[in-house]
């Protein structure tokens, strides 16, 4: 498909994602995260690896992100084992927000520094600055820690990619889809909702509550100073509609980029087979027990977020450059 045709199709994807999210806010999120999420992680990690994670000569330093993800995942897994000693849990428990924000800041150093000593100093400095940030502004620190691997990743960074693509191609349809995505939360806020969508069953709501994603909903309510927040209130449903849209569109937008950024070319037959096997296995786990699937895929979900940080930084930087030279 030609690029202009893809841009038009992208507009349709925005409308489709929003429409389904509005009708099935809980169901759509659970479906997208379980069925679209895993194959997105696998294909993007493979593509980023081929591109050396956009870190050029410092790409080996992305192993730091793997270490961070191991500690975060270990904490999540061990907390599911009641019989495990609290001492061992505390040993593995490093604040996920500290590691997440440190990974983002260190990505800047990876893109600007060359010497090993400078990179080591940058890593230590990033962790120190983030710890200081937690002590000085605990609420802001907590919110950024929750949003960085979730809403910032799937919504803010997606907007950044769209902005860069539109500025580079100067496509009017690209800008239309960009503004549509930006307007979605405004439309959700203004649209009157009195109660939970009648199409949403208690089973899906209970499944969602069993996941840790309710922290995202609660954090959004804290950000907008919403008191007496309830997941099934009118405001709660609006927040869930936005989350369902953001995740679904994020995944579908990635698959739409197959020909634009050429990530499909980085997949060999053997890699494709491995990806499909892991994807099928992950879906089976989610269908068997959503919580088990969530824990089993947690490592990949966090790792792909961290590995994308250098690209996120480059995209924002290049967008400013293109806008300045416009």
pLDDT of residue 263: 64
Q: Does the pLDDT of residue 128 top 80, yes or no? A: yes
Query: What burial class does residue 63 get, using C-beta atoms within 10 Å of its C-beta: 0-12 exposed, 13-18 middle, 19+ buried?
Result: exposed
The continuous run of DSSP H or E covering 21 comes out as helix 3-23
pLDDT by residue (tens digit) across 204-231?
888 998 888 999 999 999 999 988 888 8
Is the Cβ–Cβ distance between 282 and 293 less than 8 Å?
yes
DSSP class per residue in 55-66:
-GGGGGGGHHHH
| pLDDT tens sequence across 275-308 | 999 999 999 999 999 999 999 999 999 999 999 9
Does the pLDDT value for residue 262 go beyond 70?
A: no
Contact 171, 266 (CB under 8 A): no
Q: What are residue 79's phi and psi, to 5 degrees?
A: -70, -10
**312 within 8 A of 160, measured Cβ to Cβ:** yes
Close Cβ partners of 161 (under 8 Å, ≥ 6 residues apart): 253, 315
Q: DSSP state, 259?
A: T
Tell me if residue 200 falls in helix, strand or coil. Answer: coil
Choose the weakest-confidence range: 106-120, 167-181, 254-268. 254-268
Structure tokens at 259: 């020909």
Q: How confident is the model at residue 91 (pLDDT cuts 50, 70, 90)?
A: low
Q: Is the pLDDT of residue 79 over 90?
A: no
**Strand spans (E) along the chain:** none
**CA atoms within 13 A of residue 257's CA, in its CB half-sphere:** 17
Q: Is 8 helix (H, G, I), strand (E, B) or coil?
A: helix
DSSP string covering 204-232: HHHHHHHSTTHHHHHHHHHHTT-SS--TT
How confident is the model at residue 92, as a pLDDT? 52
pLDDT of residue 31: 97
Token pair, residue 89, equals 């849990």
* Mean predicted confidence (pLDDT) in 172-200: 84
Q: How far apart are the first and last CA of the chain?
A: 27
Q: Is 132 exposed, middle or buried (0-12, 13-18, 19+ CB in 10 A)?
A: exposed
Rounded mean pLDDT, 97-112: 94
| Average pLDDT of the residues in 72-98 | 69
> What's the pLDDT tens digit per position in 3-22?
778 888 999 999 999 999 99
Q: Give the pLDDT score at 256.
A: 87
Section 157-172 average pLDDT: 92
């Amino acid at each position: 498909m030609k690029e202009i045709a893809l841009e038009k199709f992208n507009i349709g994807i925005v409308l489709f994602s929003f429409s389904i999210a509005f009708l099935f806010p809980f169901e759509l999120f659970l479906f997208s995260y379980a069925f679209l999420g895993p194959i997105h992680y696998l294909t993007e990690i493979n593509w980023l690896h081929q591109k050396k994670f956009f870190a050029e000569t410092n790409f080996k330093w992305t192993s730091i992100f793997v270490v961070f993800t191991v500690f975060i995942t270990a904490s999540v897994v061990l907390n599911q084992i009641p019989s495990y000693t609290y001492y061992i849990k505390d040993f593995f428990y490093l604040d996920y927000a500290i590691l997440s924000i440190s990974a983002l800041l260190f990505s800047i150093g990876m893109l600007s520094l060359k010497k090993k000593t400078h990179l080591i100093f940058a890593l230590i400095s990033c962790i120190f600055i983030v710890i200081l940030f937690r002590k000085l502004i605990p609420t802001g620190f907590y919110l950024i820690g929750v949003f960085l691997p979730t809403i910032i990743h799937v919504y803010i960074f997606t907007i950044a990619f769209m902005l860069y693509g539109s500025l580079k191609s100067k496509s009017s349809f690209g800008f239309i889809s960009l503004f549509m995505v930006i307007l979605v939360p405004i439309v959700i806020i203004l649209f009157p909702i009195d109660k939970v969508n009648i199409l949403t069953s208690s089973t899906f709501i209970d499944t969602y509550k069993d996941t840790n994603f309710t922290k995202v909903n609660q954090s959004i309510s804290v950000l907008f100073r919403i008191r007496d927040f309830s997941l099934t209130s009118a405001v709660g449903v609006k927040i869930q509609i936005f989350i369902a849209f953001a995740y679904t569109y994020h995944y579908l937008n990635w698959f739409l980029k197959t020909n634009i950024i050429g990530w499909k070319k980085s997949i060999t037959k053997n890699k494709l087979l491995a990806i499909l096997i892991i994807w099928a296995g992950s879906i089976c786990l989610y269908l068997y027990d959503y919580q088990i699937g969530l824990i089993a895929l947690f490592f990949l979900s966090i790792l792909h977020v961290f590995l994308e940080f250098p690209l996120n930084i480059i995209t924002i930087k290049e967008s400013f450059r293109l806008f300045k030279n416009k």
